[in-house]
Structure 1
Amino acid sequence: MAGRTHLVTGSASGIGRATRELLESRGDRVIGVDVHDADLVRDLSDPEHRAGLRADVAALAPDGLDAVHAVAGVNLPGPLTARVNYFGAVATLRELRPLLAKSPAPAAVAVASFATLMPPDEPLLAALRAEDEPGAVAAAEALADRGQGVLVYPTSKRALAEWVRERSVTPEWAGAGIPLNAVAPGVIRTPMTAELLATPESRDALFQQVPAPLNGAAEPAAVAGLLAWLTSAENRHVTGQVIFSDSGAEATLRGPHIFG
């Protein structure tokens, strides 16, 4: 099915940009959302910007959407990470779900992370699960004040992955024929990882934490290809999955015995 209309958040850089470029190269239309250089310049850390997202997108796509890609994310040791990675992604999926209703083959996907497997901060995770944004901000600020802000990123991605799995099989998603999945990238070559990949020593240290036995670090386009398939007309039955596009990191660290 050609000529699908996608919305991609975080479309100005990294995986979001690679996804936009791939979809457009296939002849699809992409509405990009980002804090700069996008069709809709919006800050998903801002509740007011989130609240107006559906109307903004509907004005650009009066016939609705075929797919939603919640890609935008940040990795900073503080509340902004929780606001964008969890509340921004969830708002994107929730607010834009009604615009998928007219599509004969709707789909949605979020970008989580290999970091979903890392130990979370329990108070922050509880606030995210409860969708308590003030509480989550306070918990993230407390982590930053204690010098533990690094925990905000994996905790936000864990909560997002859980949200996708829980909602995917509800009447609003599966019952409406909308596959909802998440992708969990490992080490991706982006400006954020450039310094970590710059020397053999730093690469070795990184791959000790996030192994990459299959071809090492990936380019953003590798994840974009998976996002494109999950939101394609061909995918009518894969839903509720957190798919690790991580060069083998998850299988290396967790091993085969996870099906108990």
Structure 2
Amino acid sequence: MERTYVITGAASGIGKATKELLESRGDRVIGADIAGSDITVDLTTREGRETLVTVVETLSGGTIDAVLAVAGLSSPTIATAAVNYFGAVATLEGLRPLLAGSHSPRAVAVTSMASLMPHDDALVTAFLNGNEDEALARAAELAAGSPDEGNLIYGSSKQALSRWVRRQAPTAEWAGAGIPLNAVAPGVVLTPMTAALTATEEARTQLAGMVPMPLNGFFGPESVAQLLAWLSSEENGHLCGQVIFIDGGSDAVIRGDSTW
């Protein structure tokens, strides 16, 4: 049976690979991105997030089967904070009512193994408190600081999103409504977002030192697409609040057995 999916960040990278995979299986995908997709929308803004929900409702006829919040940035900027956390949360919460008409509703967010990296406590707290003005102000302070401070924005946004998924998944609004909510946390994926970081052998070696991936190293977005497709499929009826690291082993190397 054909399913209707909504994917943000669908014009490139993981989002594009997932859209193409699902469409090759005969499913309908409504893609959204800043340009080059079915819906042109800027998820760094409140207006853009509201537009996403309105247009998806119109295009879908009021019912969708799955939401995949893939859109994100990795630059040390305010925009990264806005789209990676608030854009993703608004996508999932805003489209949740449209999942009510599906017999197998699913929702997945894309975080990152960077959620394991150093982060800024004040920024993470502002994210989780839902205080966008405070979060963007703190992100601006970090962006104006040293390169190391600016780089905290990305990891902080992904840690906060991972924690949001864990907190929300078991609630009445998600699990209680029969909607599995989960996340994937990729390692270094070869996409336009990481092109500058993997352009030379020296750069790749340096990155591999920061993000150890002993199982086959860096990889393409198709591998993440396969995992996203399963998590948002009818077959996944019981995973709840899981952040699945598809990272070539970096989580195991960095955290060891600390999760137990």
> Smaller-chain TM-score range?
over 0.9
1:154 aligns with 2:190: no
Residue deviations 1:136-172 (CA, integer Å, cap 9, x gap)? 1110011111122111000001111111110000000
Greater CA deviation, 105-114 or 203-212?
A: 203-212
Greater CA deviation, 126-135 or 189-198?
A: 189-198
> Residue 196 of structure 2: SS of its match in structure 1?
coil
Residue deviations 1:35-92 (CA, integer Å, cap 9, x gap)? 1111110100010111232221110001400000000000111210010000000000
1:144 aligns with 2:140: no
Greater CA deviation, 139-148 or 172-181?
A: 139-148
Tell me the residue number matched to 2:180: 179
Distance in 1 (alpha carbons) for counterparts of 2:123 and 2:103? 38
Question: What does residue range 69-88 of structure 1 map to in structure 2 within 5 Å?
Answer: 69-88=68-87
Moved over 3 A (4+): none
Distance in 2 (alpha carbons) for counterparts of 1:91 and 1:47? 9
1:33 aligns with 2:32: yes
1:128 aligns with 2:127: yes
Question: What does residue range 33-112 of structure 1 map to in structure 2 within 5 Å?
Answer: 33-112=32-111
Unaligned residue ranges in structure 2 (runs of 5+) = none
Tell me the residue number matched to 2:254: 253
Tell me the residue number matched to 1:198: 199
Distance in 2 (alpha carbons) for counterparts of 1:153 and 1:190? 16
> Would the aligned equivalents of 2:73 and 2:84 in 1 still touch at CA under 8 Å?
yes
1:199 Cα shift?
3.2
Q: Which amino acid aligns with 2:241?
A: G
Greater CA deviation, 166-175 or 57-66?
A: 57-66
Distance in 2 (alpha carbons) for counterparts of 1:254 and 1:91? 30
Residue deviations 1:1-43 (CA, integer Å, cap 9, x gap)? x300000000000000001000000000000000111111010
Tell me the residue number matched to 2:211: 210
Q: State the number of aligned residues.
A: 258
Distance in 2 (alpha carbons) for counterparts of 1:193 and 1:98? 34
TM-score by length of 2: 0.97
Q: CA RMSD in A?
A: 1.0
1:192 Cα shift?
2.8
Tell me the residue number matched to 1:226: 227
> Would the aligned equivalents of 2:41 and 2:51 in 1 still touch at CA under 8 Å?
no
Tell me the residue number matched to 1:10: 9
Greater CA deviation, 11-20 or 208-217?
A: 208-217
> Residue 31 of structure 1: SS of its match in structure 2?
strand
1:200 Cα shift?
3.1
Tell me the residue number matched to 2:115: 116
Distance in 1 (alpha carbons) for counterparts of 2:222 and 2:135? 32
1:211 Cα shift?
0.9
> Residue 162 of structure 1: SS of its match in structure 2?
helix
Distance in 1 (alpha carbons) for counterparts of 2:14 and 2:49? 21
Identical amino acids, percent of aligned pairs: 56
> Would the aligned equivalents of 2:186 and 2:224 in 1 still touch at CA under 8 Å?
yes
> Would the aligned equivalents of 2:13 and 2:193 in 1 still touch at CA under 8 Å?
no
Residue deviations 1:81-112 (CA, integer Å, cap 9, x gap)? 01000000000000000000011100000000
TM-score by length of 1: 0.97
